[in-house]
A and B are shown apart, each in its own frame.
Chain A
Amino acid sequence: MGSPCELLLESGDRSVARKLIQAVADEAWRIEDKFSRYLPENIIDRINCSNGEPVETDEETASLLDFAATLTELSDGRFDITSGVLREAWKFDGNDKLPDATAVSAILERVGWNKVDWSRPRLTLQPEMQIDLGGIGKEYAVDKAAGLLLERTDISCLINFGGDIFATGISTNTDGWQVGIEAPDSDGRIATKVIRLMNGGLATSGDARRFLLKDGVRYGHILNPTTGWPVTDAPRSVTVAADTCTQAGMLATLAMLKGADAESFLDQQDIQFWCYR
């Protein structure tokens, strides 16, 4: 998952806690093993090495691809799971080395969901193109793990996979879980705001520590796949509360992709959000 994952639950019973965390961890590892682009032999690897040949996908992968397609449509192309290859030009480590414009244009040839042939369950990628489910994977894992918890227990739990959060149940003992939103530029120890989450999903999209700084202009790590360059005037961070972690995460991401229009986009959605510039 690339970040620390934790499960908080309201129980004094160690054996119950062990069983639940094992279930959550197993599901998280299963999803990571299946969809990580770093692991050889999984479905993603097979797709990325398919060299133009069609690949049959299973139900779960097909559902994720359908979801990604919907997101691409909802965002007018700004969310695109084929845009991962742009990382070959952009290295976001706080330095000031902007990539060469022609290099970016060349890579852009290999980006675009419209170039993909997706007719469920068959996916055909152009050679040199890659898909990356990293933008959906963590939130999806949180919701799947939450589903497992809800089947197994009534205890109030909080799943936190690196800032993608879901709280189950309203317990009798506490008044929800207190979640702090990190202030941009702090190193995670100072929260700007505290949200009391009784149940539901909470996710944050932000530049956190991945950006380039040149001539006083901050280039966030969220790239616009239609231009190949970072989204301009994106907020420093957006946090959204929604019925599922997936919805929260996607709304936060869609907002970031809107750049300067992030707040007005979120206002129209009738959800709770916190936006920092």
Chain B
Amino acid sequence: MRKLIIIIGALILTGCSSMGVEPWERDVLAKEEMQLIVDPLEVAIDEHIYFSKEASSGGRGFGGGGCGCN
């Protein structure tokens, strides 16, 4: 299992090494609306709502602070 993770990791890194942009081509990526989490407060609020109504949680990062609602 460990070997598999190392192999997959190495493949991802080598595979990824050819993709991407030069440092001066990051104008679009620097925009606020292109961040992976644009509105952390809204994401936290939604995570909390769905965590208390559904059986799944997280994915983006951590499951967030706990509560007595699930």
Query: Roughly how many angstroms separate A12 CA and B21 CA in the complex, as a whole number?
Result: 12
- In the complex, B62 has a CB within 8 A of chain A: no
Chain B residue with the shortest CB-CB distance to A17: B24
Range of interface residues on B (Cβ < 8 Å):
under 10
- In the complex, B25 has a CB within 8 A of chain A: yes
- Residues 25-62 of B, flagged 1 when their CB comes within 8 A of A and 0 if not, give 10100100000000000000000000000000000000
- In the complex, A174 has a CB within 8 A of chain B: yes
Query: Roughly how many angstroms separate A12 CA and B27 CA in the complex, as a whole number?
Result: 10
- Residues 7-24 of A, flagged 1 when their CB comes within 8 A of B and 0 if not, give 000101000000000000
- In the complex, A173 has a CB within 8 A of chain B: yes
Query: Roughly how many angstroms separate A174 CA and B29 CA in the complex, as a whole number?
Result: 11
Most A C-beta atoms less than 10 A away, residue of B24, B25, B30? B24
Chain B residue with the shortest CB-CB distance to A174: B27
Question: What residues of chain A lie closer than 8 Å to B24, measured between beta carbons?
Answer: 12
Question: What residues of chain B lie closer than 8 Å to A174, measured between beta carbons?
Answer: 27, 30
Query: Roughly how many angstroms separate A105 CA and B57 CA in the complex, as a whole number?
Result: 79
6 contacts between A and B (CB under 8 A): A10-B27, A12-B24, A12-B25, A173-B27, A174-B27, A174-B30
Chain B nearest CB from A225 CB (Å) reads 46
Query: Roughly how many angstroms separate A174 CA and B25 CA in the complex, as a whole number?
Result: 13
Chain B residue with the shortest CB-CB distance to A10: B27
Chain A residue with the shortest CB-CB distance to B22: A12
Chain B nearest CB from A204 CB (Å) reads 26
Query: Roughly how many angstroms separate A174 CA and B27 CA in the complex, as a whole number?
Result: 8
Chain B nearest CB from A197 CB (Å) reads 17
